[in-house]
């Protein structure tokens, strides 16, 4: 709970205690009124103030105004406990709603972690650290191992492996060498690089990502609170009806006191307590039920919107795939076991993700004493001496460097070639693994009525198409940078129909702009970046894609309960209001139409806590 929410809770408890205590005080007249005014003002002063302030700003008919006039009307006809009790119920509902909404997600401070703090520029024969914004196009910067690349540019000298996950979402390091282009925000893992700057910082990739997050957040569609929308029509209607009831009939039949009393009873009956409590409470129950399943929903409006999901867009790595790598295929010219053994030995001293996957594929202890003269060539691979034989393990450029012809076929993955003493032995194909429940999740979404499933990835096209085909996705867009993903989402947003919503599911920092731009952003929480989680509307805590379908089912059930409560509350209220207008319904019926209906609606709302299978 926030400090403000705790203060509201303390007011609720204090007001309730005072309301009970006043009932036992044997007083009458103005003293009794003053005794009830104390708990009433403690719990309702802010509602009264909001009503007055909104009237001053021209916003007359809202739920604050109706709560104020209904409870003041209850005081006017002598129903003091009812006035306090109705306001107390209203504040309990508001507190539940505030808790459900949770913390604001305006701040995406975690994203600033990708912003480089400095750039190394050579001046007067020495390297000095300067603000990236001070570096001009054409300047030469030096990037040491472990540092972020501060600006976009071209490598003049050096070779290295880059961690590009913050930008592309792909965990496989990217090998670069002289002549290759590099983008800001990547982390230099191994070699020293000299880079010629090609863009100013304001135009760099990392600056664009930060700008995209800020701009996309500002155009994020937000659901308007149902009660406020309803009150715009309901409140003025019942107030006008009450005024007409209290003023028009006495002009013809007399009995002003009697008709004004009926009008005030009419206002008490019309108080939308059942709605203002049960509607947010239903969503709160749905949010609570979802949280027990490892699904964190940041607000009732997002839970409601999920029920209208029409297009679901996925990132690939870490979302539909595990983000871990394995040897998926061994293409040996002769002995498969020998190829895998030599590759694992040559890679035994490396902790590169590719090396780890090769050693895991071998799966047996390795005697490192068999390996000598290991040379890791950044951007190429490894050259090692194994039991007196030269073993090469790396990409096609490594084979080309040593004049060895290799298999150039595209195997839809990262291909690692192996050679011994200038003899080509074959290759290993390394791929990211698809999550076990990803295929069932896609199938379930289509069965639930999702019109289109799309995957956006920074990986190469052949890999994206392979994953998309395996999972049964409707559309795959590959080789995308963050700004391209936003463009694709903008295009897909135009394909929606009616109340349909676009859902984006991602996990990386690079996904934060898209998560913010989509109607509903879902982040994979356990492995996801802080920025993606902050920017998202829904977080899957255990990273299971199947939870998306479960979240939609919870949303649909919750929305059904809300509709039931609305129909039930309005039907009873309109019926009793008519009876009250004809002096048939007394204050007891008025209490039932308000408090009784509220209790029934709340009990129905608790069903949202039970998670649908």
User: SS3 of 442, please?
Assistant: helix
Is the model's pLDDT at 109 over the cut of 50? no
Per-residue pLDDT reduced to its tens digit, 414-441: 889 999 998 999 999 988 888 888 999 9
Q: What is the mean pLDDT of the chain?
A: 81
pLDDT value at residue 23:
83
Query: Where is pLDDT greater, at 289 or 382?
Result: 382
Q: Please give the Cα distance from 532 to 522 (Å, whole number).
A: 9
Active site residue 315: yes
Q: Please give the Cα distance from 219 to 401 (Å, whole number).
A: 51
Per-residue pLDDT reduced to its tens digit, 201-218: 888 877 766 665 555 344
User: How far lies 560's CA from each of 147, 230, 411, in Å?
Assistant: 52, 17, 49
Q: Using CA of residue 80, residue 81, residue 82, residue 88, what is the dihedral sign? A: positive
Rounded to 5 degrees, what are φ and ψ at 554?
Answer: -60, -40
Per-residue pLDDT reduced to its tens digit, 572-589: 878 877 887 777 776 556
**Residue 83 near residue 283, CB atoms below 8 Å:** no
**Residue 359 near residue 370, CB atoms below 8 Å:** no
pLDDT value at residue 114:
64
Structure tokens at 515: 């998560």
What's the chain's length in residues? Answer: 613
Is the model's pLDDT at 413 over the cut of 90? no
Q: Domains in the chain, start-ordered, CATH in brackets? A: 117-150+152-198 (2.70.150.10), 294-322+434-553 (3.40.50.1000), 323-432 (3.40.1110.10)
pLDDT value at residue 107:
36
- The active-site residue out of 62, 152, 175, 315 is 315
Q: Which residue in this structure is represented by tokens 């002063």? A: 45
Q: Please give the Cα distance from 351 to 363 (Å, whole number).
A: 15
Q: CA nearest 263: which of 291, 240, 235?
A: 240
* DSSP symbols for 141-172: EEE-TTPBP-S-EEEEE--EEEE-HHHH---S
pLDDT value at residue 510:
65
pLDDT value at residue 108:
37
Q: CA nearest 114: which of 152, 171, 166?
A: 166
Q: CA nearest 195: which of 268, 269, 116, 250?
A: 116
Rounded to 5 degrees, what are φ and ψ at 560?
Answer: -60, -40
**Residue 120 near residue 144, CB atoms below 8 Å:** yes
pLDDT value at residue 399:
93
User: SS3 of 418, please?
Assistant: strand
pLDDT value at residue 393:
94
pLDDT value at residue 541:
67
- Taking only Cα atoms into account, the Rg of the chain, rounded to an integer number of angstroms, comes to 33
Q: Which residue in this structure is represented by tokens 């947003």? A: 493
Per-residue pLDDT reduced to its tens digit, 464-477: 888 899 999 999 99
**Residue 363 near residue 385, CB atoms below 8 Å:** no
pLDDT value at residue 155:
93
Q: State the alpha helices, DSSP H only, in 391-511.
A: 396-401, 438-447, 461-471, 482-493
Cβ within 8 Å of residue 539, ≥6 positions away: 295, 296, 298, 522, 523, 524, 525, 528, 533
């Amino acid at each position: 709970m926030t400090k403000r929410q705790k203060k509201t809770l303390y007011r609720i408890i204090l007001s309730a205690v005072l309301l009970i205590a006043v009932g036992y005080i044997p007083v009458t007249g103005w003293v009794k009124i003053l005794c009830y005014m104390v708990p009433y003002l403690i719990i309702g002063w802010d509602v009264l103030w909001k009503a007055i302030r909104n009237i001053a700003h021209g916003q007359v008919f809202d739920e604050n105004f109706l709560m104020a006039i209904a409870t003041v009307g209850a005081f006017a006809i002598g129903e003091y406990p009812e006035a306090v009790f109705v306001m107390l119920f209203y504040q309990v509902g508001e507190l539940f709603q505030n808790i459900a909404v949770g913390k604001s997600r305006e701040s995406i401070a975690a994203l600033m972690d990708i912003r480089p703090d400095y750039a190394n520029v050579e001046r007067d024969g020495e390297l000095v650290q300067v603000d990236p914004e001070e570096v001009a196009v054409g300047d030469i910067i030096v990037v040491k191992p472990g540092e972020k690349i501060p600006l976009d540019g071209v490598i003049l000298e050096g070779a290295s492996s880059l961690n590009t996950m913050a930008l592309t979402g792909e965990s496989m390091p990217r090998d670069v060498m002289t002549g290759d282009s590099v983008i800001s925000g990547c982390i230099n893992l191994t070699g020293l690089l000299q880079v010629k700057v090609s863009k100013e910082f304001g135009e760099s990739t990392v600056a664009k990502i930060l700008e995209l997050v800020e701009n996309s957040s500002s155009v994020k569609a937000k659901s308007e609170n149902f009660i406020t929308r309803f009150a715009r029509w309901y409140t003025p209607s019942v107030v006008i009806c009450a005024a007409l009831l209290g003023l028009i009939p006495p002009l013809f039949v007399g009995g002003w006191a009697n008709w004004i009393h009926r009008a005030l009873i009419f206002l008490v009956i019309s108080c939308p307590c059942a709605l203002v409590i049960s509607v947010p409470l239903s969503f709160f129950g749905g949010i609570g039920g979802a949280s027990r399943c490892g699904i964190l929903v940041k607000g009732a409006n997002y839970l409601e919107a999920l029920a209208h999901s029409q297009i679901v867009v996925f990132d690939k790595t870490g979302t539909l795939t595990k983000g871990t790598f394995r040897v998926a295929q061994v293409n040996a010219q002769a002995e498969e076991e020998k190829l895998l053994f030599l590759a694992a030995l040559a890679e035994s001293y490396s902790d590169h993700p590719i090396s780890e996957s090769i050693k895991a594929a071998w799966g047996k202890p390795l005697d490192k004493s068999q390996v000598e003269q290991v040379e890791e060539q950044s951007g190429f691979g490894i050259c090692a001496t194994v039991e007196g034989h030269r073993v090469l393990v790396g990409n096609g450029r490594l084979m080309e460097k040593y004049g060895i012809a290799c298999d150039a076929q595209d195997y839809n993955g990262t291909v690692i070639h192996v050679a011994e003493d200038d003899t080509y032995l074959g290759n290993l194909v390394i791929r990211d693994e698809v999550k076990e429940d990803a295929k069932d999740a896609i199938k379930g979404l289509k069965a639930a009525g999702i019109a289109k499933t799309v995957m956006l990835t920074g990986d190469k096209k052949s890999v994206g198409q392979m994953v998309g085909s395996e999972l049964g996705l409707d559309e795959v867009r590959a080789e995308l940078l963050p700004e391209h993903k936003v463009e694709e989402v903008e295009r897909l947003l135009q394909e929606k129909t009616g109340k349909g919503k676009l859902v984006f599911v991602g996990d990386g920092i690079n996904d934060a702009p898209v998560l913010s731009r989509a109607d509903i952003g879902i982040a994979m929480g356990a492995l996801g970046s802080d920025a993606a989680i902050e920017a998202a509307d829904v977080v899957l805590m255990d990273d299971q894609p199947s939870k998306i379908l479960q979240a939609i089912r919870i949303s649909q059930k919750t929305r059904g309960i809300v509709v039931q409560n609305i129909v039930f509350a309005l039907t009873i209220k309109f019926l009793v209001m008519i009876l009250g207008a004809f002096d048939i319904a007394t204050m007891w019926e008025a209490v039932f139409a308000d408090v009784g209906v509220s209790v029934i609606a709340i009990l129905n709302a608790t069903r949202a806590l039970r998670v649908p299978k």
